[in-house]
Chain A
């Protein structure tokens, strides 16, 4: 983290517009992710989150505007949880080595880092939701990424599973200093782990620190006051977990405690 200014960018979209036929999927979107920064991209279904992600990945050419990527940028991409047909026999180990040839030590280290060392020989299609996400994350880590891009990593996980996963992502950021761009439609938990939020609904509705977003009227209109209140609870926990610049996370405020004390609905009521 640089003090004062924003961290040096790894990837940036500048006034990116994407049109497919008559439909404008993205309209003059600006977004940037810096080294060591966790950026959460949130928005309702159909807001163009995945489209923006694909543009940032370089898979989709914007109709207008530009995508800037740091030279030699290595992206570790974690796709949305996908169905793997059991007709394809694939162990976790083999999944991690498809198109990659990591040394054995690196493979074990990546699995250990995501807490999945014991899954090395397990078939992919027998993994639980959380285990599957860990395997995806381990594969992304094997590429030694400067930037992690995760598409709805919390999807299909229960509340505590999501918190664990976000905590893990945070630890990875702390350890490797990589940037993180995390796409989510779920605000409650994203807020607890993120440095900066970009709220997207075809255009960037608002962008800034978690608290700022939760008070923004456009955001309130999208998700309702309840979401904002729930957010406030987690933003509070977030304040205790690390400062707004994303500095070191004290280990004594585990997010899991928050989970037990304040499940989302209750939290919302509590704050309201």
Chain B
């Protein structure tokens, strides 16, 4: 069954989407979309270096993404430049470096388009192992980090006061993100990987009432996007990666329209609590 490239495509896509959904929730909550872009750009450098050094390209990409993630975190700690600016510098330097390095490799045929826009139909068995193995590791790490990370996301000072090691948890999260970007690149490509991190969670927000609901729904919406995207790409003979992104955008619009209808009626905004200590009116 795995011989069928379509099956591999869908399985690979589902693996990436199931990880990108929950992870992407934090990207959305913590406003880190640009960070994701910067990581994705560094992935191209990983591919170039991997080809230069004749290392497995997946491995090289993961390694470079991790190194970049750590570099970004360290650079952010110096206060002179805003995070935005640092990311802007590093992302494009990484991209330029990757492109220049690739130009030295003309004897080696690297399909640049496949990396920029993904080639989900070319997913191999080895890729599947990377996606599902790496994805499982990343997802497990995310589940482990979840309570502390959520606490930091709600309020960093509160987390700190309650004994959360903020720096370590943030570093852990960034490493998980680097891993996810590196393994997800194959599906939708460097330029579109962040969309899988952002669009499904944004769609899920309209339907969720708790962080965990949003994460689960984001995973589900991501998986549906992959299935519809690959299906649409077959039917209309369109590039698969971008079609997956468009499918997720369609689901986003649908969720936005459905959200207000699905939402349980909110209890009327309570009047400013009048009497502290006595307040125990029955909850709805």
Chain A residues in contact with chain B, CB under 8 A? 57, 59, 75, 77, 79-80, 82, 84-85, 87-91, 94-95, 98-99, 112-123, 126, 128, 130-131, 134, 143, 149, 151, 161, 164-165, 167-168, 171
Contacts and interface: CB of A to CB of B under 8 A. Distances in A.
A113 B277 CA distance: 5
B161 A59 contact: yes
Nearest to B158: A79
Summarize B's interface: helix, strand, loop or mixed.
loop
Contacts of A80: 157
B272 A128 contact: yes
Contact of A88 (B160, B164, B211, B270): B211
Q: Which 7 A-B pairs rank lowest in CB-CB distance, beginning with the nearest?
A: A115-B279, A77-B161, A168-B276, A115-B276, A112-B280, A79-B157, A117-B280
B155 interface: yes
Nearest to A101: B147
The interface centre, meaning the residue of A112, A115, A123 with most chain B CB atoms within 10 A of its CB, is: A115
Nearest to B273: A115
B129 interface: no
A167 B158 CA distance: 23
Contacts of A131: 270, 272-273
B209 A91 contact: yes
B151 A99 contact: yes
Contacts of A121: 267, 283-284
Nearest to A89: B208
A115 B275 contact: yes
Contacts of B3: none
A115 B277 contact: yes
A149 B147 CA distance: 22
B270 A118 contact: yes
A112 B279 contact: yes
A161 B210 contact: no
A73 B128 CA distance: 50
Contacts of A99: 147-148, 150-151, 159, 162, 164
A89 B273 contact: no
Nearest to B264: A121
Contacts of B162: 77, 99, 143
28 contacts: A59-B160, A79-B157, A85-B29, A87-B29, A87-B205, A88-B29, A88-B211, A89-B205, A89-B213, A91-B209, A94-B210, A95-B154, A98-B147, A99-B148, A99-B164, A112-B280, A115-B273, A115-B275, A116-B279, A118-B267, A121-B267, A122-B266, A130-B273, A131-B270, A131-B272, A149-B161, A165-B276, A171-B277
B148 to A, nearest CB: 7
Contacts of B277: 113, 115, 168, 171
A117 B281 contact: yes
A140 to B, nearest CB: 9
B151 to A, nearest CB: 5
Contacts of A120: 283
Contacts of A89: 205, 208-211, 213-214
B85 interface: no
A197 to B, nearest CB: 23
Contact of A57 (B161, B266, B270, B272): B161
A116 B272 CA distance: 10
B276 A164 contact: yes
A84 B154 contact: yes
Contact of B283 (A117, A123, A134, A164): A117
Given A89-B211, A161-B272, A77 B154 contact: no
Interface string B133-158: 00000000000000110110111011
B151 A98 contact: yes
A123 B153 CA distance: 16
Contacts of A123: 209, 266
A11 B175 CA distance: 37
The interface centre, meaning the residue of A59, A98, A116 with most chain B CB atoms within 10 A of its CB, is: A98
Nearest to A149: B161
Contacts of A91: 209-210
Contact of A119 (B159, B161, B270): B270
B78 interface: no
Given A117-B281, A134-B273, A171-B277, A79 B161 contact: yes
A121 to B, nearest CB: 7
A98 B146 CA distance: 9
